[in-house]
């Protein structure tokens, strides 16, 4: 789907909402029409699964601070043929429970949907131990695992529904910090696993972003537009399976790519894009993300500035990528 964001009224200020909020709302609403159970690891208030718990207490199970056990329980329930959502912070869902996710869920290809909240630097004051910057890399290496990273509230809701209707294990990455809901203003918006969303076509370079960084990619494109640079903006909400066809089209069309993610550049979106284009349509690719480092405690805006996760830094990398074109 291709939509030009700048066709919409410029005086509209998008509402802001954390994707974890939309995750909880989606579970509660979809629970009316779909038969599934939700597990959590003593974090229902933070992951927002508590919204589902309040509405469907008989279909909610708190597994306590035992994430590995929770994933094994989810696998057992899924083996009976029932859909299961298992939720915790990304650091625990992808990190602490990796072995159970790999062996109990991934290996038998069970229908478990992992809702991982509080991912990335925007966890803020919780600091390095909780700012998971490695989860996309971990999850996309598991055979058969689908990896989704929605950009905003509207996309997060659609992501949950798509995951529910998809057979097989799915890892969904949600954030703690509020983000502008740009998807709500897209015409005929549709979420499809494995298909990216083009916010804006361009001719000079393409910004490929995921999750929290999508709205900053839009801001970067606006900055560059003022300089006479035409930058396309792509929301790659599905890291795996990656939209190879779209990436090749944009590489051929613009000749330069900049990726943007709230994740380590090693093994994340940027790595996936580089792997894809190296095999299909080699062009200059520069990656915006954390550079082989841990996070640190602090307020979100200064942290984003410190780690270069800003619209200004994305725009700078686009200028560099354009200069690298043959």
Instruction: Choose one of 180, 211, 244: the last residue of a domain.
Output: 180
pLDDT category at 126 given cuts 50, 70, 90 is very high
Q: Is residue 185 assigned to a domain?
A: no
pLDDT digits (tens, 9 = 90+) for 50-97: 999 999 999 999 999 999 999 999 999 999 999 999 999 999 999 999
DSSP state of 134: S
Taking only the tens place, the pLDDT of each residue in 141-150 is 999 999 999 9
Q: Identify the three-state secondary structure at position 222.
A: helix
In a shared domain, residues 94 and 162: yes
- Distance of alpha carbon 54 from alpha carbon 297, whole angstroms: 32
Which of 222, 264, 33 is closest to 128 using CA atoms?
264
Strand 238-240 relative to strand 146-148, pairing: antiparallel
Can you list the pairs that 53-62 forms with residues at least 24 positions away whose Cβ atoms lie under 8 Å? 54/28, 55/28, 55/31, 56/28, 56/31, 59/31, 61/37
* Same domain assignment for residues 146 and 215: no
Does this model's pTM top 0.85?
yes
- The total of structural domains in the chain comes to 2
- Position with higher pLDDT, 131 vs 14: 131
Do 167 and 31 reside in the same domain of the chain?
yes
Task: Note whether 28 and 134 are same-domain residues.
Answer: yes
Q: What is the CATH number of the domain that holds 305?
A: 3.40.50.920
145 and 291 fall within a common domain: no
Query: What is the pLDDT, as a whole number, of residue 14?
Result: 78
- Say whether pLDDT at 3 is over 80: no
Q: How does pLDDT run across 218-258, given as a tens digit for each residue?
A: 999 999 999 999 999 999 999 999 999 999 999 999 999 99
Domain that holds residue 152: 17-180
DSSP 88-118: EEHIIIIIITHHHIIIIIITTT--EEEEEES
Mean pLDDT of the chain: 94
Domain edge (last residue) among 180, 202, 225: 180
Longest dimension (CA), the chain: 61
Residues with active-site annotation: 67
């Amino acid at each position: 789907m291709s939509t030009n964001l700048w066709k919409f009224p410029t005086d509209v200020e998008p509402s802001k909402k954390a994707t974890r909020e939309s995750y909880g709302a989606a579970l509660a609403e979809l629970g009316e029409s779909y038969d599934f159970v939700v597990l959590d690891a003593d974090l229902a208030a933070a992951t927002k699964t508590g919204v589902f718990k309040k509405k469907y207490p008989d279909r909610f199970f708190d597994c306590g601070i035992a994430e590995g056990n929770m994933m094994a329980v989810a696998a057992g329930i899924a083996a009976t043929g029932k859909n299961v959502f298992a939720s915790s912070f990304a650091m625990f869902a992808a990190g602490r429970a990796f072995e159970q996710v790999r062996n109990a869920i991934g290996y038998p290809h069970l229908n478990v949907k992992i809702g991982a909240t509080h991912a990335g630097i925007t966890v803020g004051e919780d600091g390095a131990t909780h700012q998971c910057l490695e989860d996309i890399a971990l999850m996309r290496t598991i055979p058969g695992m689908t990896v989704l990273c929605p950009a905003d509230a509207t996309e997060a809701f659609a992501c949950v529904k798509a995951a529910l209707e998809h057979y097989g294990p799915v890892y969904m990455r949600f954030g703690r910090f509020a983000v502008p809901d740009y998807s709500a203003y897209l015409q005929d918006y549709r979420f499809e696993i494995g298909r990216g969303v083009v916010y804006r076509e361009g001719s000079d370079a393409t910004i490929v972003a995921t999750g929290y960084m999508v709205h900053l990619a839009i801001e970067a494109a606006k900055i560059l537009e003022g300089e006479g640079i035409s930058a396309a903006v792509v929301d790659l909400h599905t890291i795996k399976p990656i939209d190879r066809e779209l990436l090749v089209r944009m590489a051929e069309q613009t000749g330069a790519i900049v990726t943007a993610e709230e994740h380590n550049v090693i093994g994340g979106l940027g790595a996936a894009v580089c792997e894809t284009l190296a095999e299909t349509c080699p062009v200059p690719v520069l990656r915006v993300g954390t550079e082989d480092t841990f996070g640190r405690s602090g307020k979100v805006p200064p942290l984003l500035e410190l780690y270069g996760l800003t619209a200004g830094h994305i725009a700078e990398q686009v200028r560099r990528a354009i200069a690298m074109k043959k």
